[in-house]
Structure 1
């Protein structure tokens, strides 16, 4: 099964759309003060070994757009083949791009290879992230074996400025439990922000994490704000991640301090 979607936002509206099942995009009417929005849906209900999704999101020069997932993405157990997800994000000159997926839940025995590429014009602003849950924790399941590779590649004016990859295979449970590894965490998250005054925005994230009971931090790398979360409680991580997101979109882009309605369902 191979799904594909191409979404391009112009200055104030959708400029291009191509979609191929099981990846679909819906376009809810945005609330006042919000940019055009697209809601992603995987109509198959999840991804299995051998499946592939290709998603391309572009915001043209001077435009703005928000892409949000309609629900958590489930990666089912595989007998061998990998599940592949390729995400290509591009923000043109003077644009604002917001890419807000919900959790990706890696079932025990699943095999996921995902790459997110973010291409920024010199003065583009963008907010992108991801959350991973290691197993169906609500059912007492934990990811113990399989493959989980989640890579990022961020470029500014065509020049690589940040790359990162999480790679777990073999005895994954041991790595998740290792004190020098994930120290028993059941979920993790990454947030990437490209905007002016990154040091100020980093400090705002840190201030918001002061009372957080999980493990989290924020730093600035090559002008990007990078924030990370680790937690034994996926719901608590999601709440903290969402609070940081709402704050940052307001501070970095002047947008309302709120999350899309789909996030709250």
Structure 2
């Protein structure tokens, strides 16, 4: 019989074995309200959090009746072994919200136990509502292990535009992504029916990572999605005509979802491509020009 081995714990109650969990959550709700004026305004009506996840006050840089901008804050600045982050946001009928982050997120190297981190994001958009989900890029350090899921649930008539930019390793510091494992999942549905399901495993030891039929040695990737465009073909044509002409990105559409993909080696190039695409697509999606969040310029 194996002798009983006590679990190493700290006085704070944290455990240090493979069952460690450091949880944080954030739940946001937005509604469109008249507030006695002819034009409605989107207000944040729910803000609940546990652990180190916060938001600043809402901003209205597009006018007091314009889109509600909110910055998602994770003060530690990155995920370590055992972190379990959950972010939920709901936009009710008629609302318009833009969610972003103040800086790049970092996925740090796993500890000696190989404990993984996890981040789960769930976005719900009601009829005639719009949600823009535009986080700054994510940087995965060598040895990072974790799972990242993004779930977008739409009702008929809802609109959404979002992206995910991921950089693997830190080539400028000569620290490439050569160990570790990441898993990304996307799930986008309309009225409960799936439109886009995707699962991607990023394992630098697998031949897919370097094979030309797979990752091809690329260290940066990005995915941008848009749902609710009245003329998807025209949007794709505009992207192909006005975005930089190179072979590191492509755009397509399927079942009402426009998808733009980037695969290359330059984080700044991927970010610039997504931002330019947003400037082109936002007027087509919402009838409003793109208004760059001030936090991106600091």
TM-score normalized by structure 2? 0.84
CA distance in 1, matches of 2:192, 2:174: 44
The equivalent position to 1:237 in structure 2, one of 263, 270, 284, is: 270
The residue aligned with 1:134 is: 168
| Distance verdict in 2 for CA 1:202–1:68, change over 3 Å | same
* Deviating 4+ runs (over 6 angstroms): none
Conserved 8 A contact 2:118-2:148: yes
Secondary structure at 2:186 match in 1: strand
| Distance verdict in 2 for CA 1:175–1:142, change over 3 Å | farther
- How far does the alpha carbon of each residue in 1:160-215 deviate from its partner, in whole angstroms, 9 at most, with x for none? 1110111122605x544322222232200001100122222222222233x34451
Conserved 8 A contact 1:154-1:163: yes
Q: Which sits farther off after the overlay, 230-239 or 135-144?
A: 135-144
The residue aligned with 1:32 is: 62
The residue aligned with 1:8 is: 29
Q: Which sits farther off after the overlay, 87-96 or 243-252?
A: 243-252
How much is the aligned-residue C-alpha RMSD, in angstroms?
Answer: 1.5
> Between Structure 1 and Structure 2, how many residues are aligned?
263
Question: Are residues 1:56 and 2:88 paired?
Answer: yes
CA distance in 1, matches of 2:247, 2:54: 34
Secondary structure at 2:282 match in 1: helix
Within 5 Å, give how 1:81-96 maps onto structure 2.
81-96=115-130
Question: Are residues 1:197 and 2:231 paired?
Answer: yes
CA distance in 2, matches of 1:214, 1:77: 32
Residue 231 of structure 1: how far off its partner (Å): 1.5
Structure (1 or 2) with the larger CA radius of gyration: 2
Q: Which sits farther off after the overlay, 116-125 or 163-172?
A: 163-172
Secondary structure at 1:113 match in 2: strand
Conserved 8 A contact 2:25-2:49: yes
The residue aligned with 2:73 is: 41
What are the ranges of 5 or more consecutive residues in structure 2 without an aligned counterpart?
A: 1-21, 33-41
Conserved 8 A contact 2:279-2:290: yes
The residue aligned with 1:215 is: 248
The residue aligned with 2:5 is: none
Q: Which sits farther off after the overlay, 246-255 or 186-195?
A: 246-255
| Distance verdict in 2 for CA 1:243–1:183, change over 3 Å | same
The equivalent position to 1:162 in structure 2, one of 172, 196, 199, is: 196
| Distance verdict in 2 for CA 1:2–1:83, change over 3 Å | same
What are the ranges of 5 or more consecutive residues in structure 1 without an aligned counterpart?
A: none
Conserved 8 A contact 2:142-2:178: yes
